[in-house]
Amino acid sequence: MNIDDIAKLIEDKTGLLIRYNFKNILFEIINGRISMLGVSLDNYYEIIEQNIHDEFNNVVDQLTIKDTYFFRNEDIYENLRIHIIPQLLNKYEKVKIWDLGCATGEEPYSIAMLIDYFYPEFKNRFDTYACDISMNAINDAKLGIYDKFSFKTDTPITNYQSLYFFQRKNLYSVKSYIKKMVNFERFNLMDIAESKLSNYYNVILCKNVFIYMKKEASNMILENINRLLRDDGILFIGAGEALYGEKYIFDKIYSEEGFYYTKHSKTGKDVEEIYEKIMPGRGNEGEKGNYIGIDDIMYNYRKKEYSTVLSMIRYSYKDAPEKERKIMNMLFAFIMFNIGKYEYALETIKNNLNYYSDNEYIWIMYIYGHFNHSLGNEKKAKEIFDIVIKERKRFVPALIDIANIYFDGEDYIKAKEIFLEISNLLENYKENKLFVELMPELSSKLVSEVVKSRLFFLQQLIG
């Protein structure tokens, strides 16, 4: 028996990734507790395994990160306010929201304030639940008393401190009617599979949780979140967290306010029919028809009207200028990928590599690598990205994917090195308008958020 056995026990029971600095912190906690209790390491293992006197919960509480503040990541609240809540109110009599990993409650209280301020006449139609593995954090959330460090950012509600808090000296207490809008409870996400509910929640938030968890645990939790969400349910995760190779059970939705995920939609029959007609020519032969300009095609692509886009490509390809044909090829590949026809997406990109100029070729190779990375083919993806970086050393999109491959492979030292390199390049990073249309995650804003979030975690993990 050694302390590594206790670390493994905690990893297995919580899904938390206990490596590097987090393991050092755990060792300090355990050594201190063994000395205080006057027990052997073997005896302490039994105590923590059986959670005697709440020992397991207390140790886990000291390991969890509780860095949060009101309206953190404002884009989430703007997406809720502008896009999501109005649609949910039009469709459902009761809107159910679940905040996983809520820490000391700033996030669910922010949602409650948003609802109260912008939709006061409908606030009784919302049921908001929030949970965390830390009992101390849940108790603090229920108490609802905060200091100045919980207020750090611009918000959709400019005067929310005076509206929703009583101030006593340097402390701020959430008003009781806001507290009543949120139901808090302690919950271990590793127990999520035991929930008998399905197709239940409209919105689930699980921000900056997966980045601290082992990949196997994250995948299990995501599969169950998918089960618990309604068919049109919404998932929010942290900016530095990515869903790679998770059987595509979620679709990523972008807006001017940021991004969120929805349950993966089944391919419509109309898309399948158009796809079957196009595939004999791999999208490159087309049929004679009325030519439609690329701007109209891109407009429908942004709306995810894939059947319309495929029809437009089918009837416009022969008459389109060469520049627009290139874009149509890429659109065809992205649509194939988005509807789950991965082999045809990869084939389309591979077969058209020599069709592009040197500058375009770098981007097409990058997309080829990114598709492979997204499908979990890390070895193939890295081979492709190495070619891209050899041609253009400071190509930020490829560097991000490479850094994420090292990150997901738990080579955190190498990942941090590359993310730091990207951070230094961002000041001169220039968006490619077309490829940001195809891959909104390559916008300066989202790239910056991902790099910042991952470096924050890596600093905590390895220093």
Position 254 confidence tier, pLDDT thresholds 50, 70, 90:
confident
What is the distance between the alpha carbons of residues 163 and 357, in angstroms, rounded to a whole number? Answer: 58
The Cα 177–Cα 272 span in angstroms is 50
pLDDT tens by residue, 179-205: 999 999 999 999 999 988 888 999 999
Of 224 and 292, the one with more pLDDT: 224
Per-residue pLDDT for 290 more than 80? no
pLDDT in tens, 318-333: 889 999 999 999 999 9
Classify the C-alpha dihedral 11-17-20-24 as positive or negative: negative
Q: Write down the pLDDT at residue 328.
A: 92
User: Taking 80 as the threshold, does the pLDDT of residue 288 lie above it?
Assistant: no
What is the structure's pLDDT at 275? 63
pLDDT higher than threshold 90 for residue 256: no
pLDDT at 351 over 60: yes
The model's pLDDT over 360-415, given as tens digits with 9 standing for 90+, comes to 899 999 999 999 998 889 999 999 999 999 999 999 999 999 999 999 888 999 99
pLDDT over 50 (residue 284): no
Residues 6+ apart with CB under 8 A from 122: 89, 115
66/386: higher pLDDT = 386
Mean pLDDT of 23-33: 93
C-alpha distances (whole Å) from 421 to each of 65, 240, 390, 416 are 26, 16, 16, 9
Strand 258-263 with 229-237, pairing: antiparallel
3-state helix, strand, coil in the chain (%, to 5): 60, 10, 25
What HEC string does 244-295 produce? CCCCCCEEEEEECCEEEEEECCCCCHHHHHHHHHHHHHCCCCCCCCCCCCHH
Q: How confident is the model at residue 282 (pLDDT cuts 50, 70, 90)?
A: very low
Residue 317: is its pLDDT beyond 60? yes
- pLDDT band with cut points at 50, 70 and 90 for residue 274: low
CA distances from 255 to 302, 308, 309 (A): 10, 21, 20
Amino acid at 270: D
Phi and psi at 313, nearest 5°, equal: -65, -45
The mean of the pLDDT values for the chain is: 90
pLDDT at position 281, please?
A: 46
pLDDT given for residue 448 in this prediction: 94
Handedness of CA 356, 358, 360, 363 (dihedral sign): positive
Q: Which two tokens stand for residue 231?
A: 């068919």
Per-residue confidence (pLDDT) for residue 220, from 0 to 100: 93
12 vs 229: CA distance, rounded Å: 25
The pLDDT > 70 percentage for the chain reads 93
- Residues 249 and 222: their CA atoms lie apart, in Å, by 8
Judged by DSSP in three states, 66 sits in coil
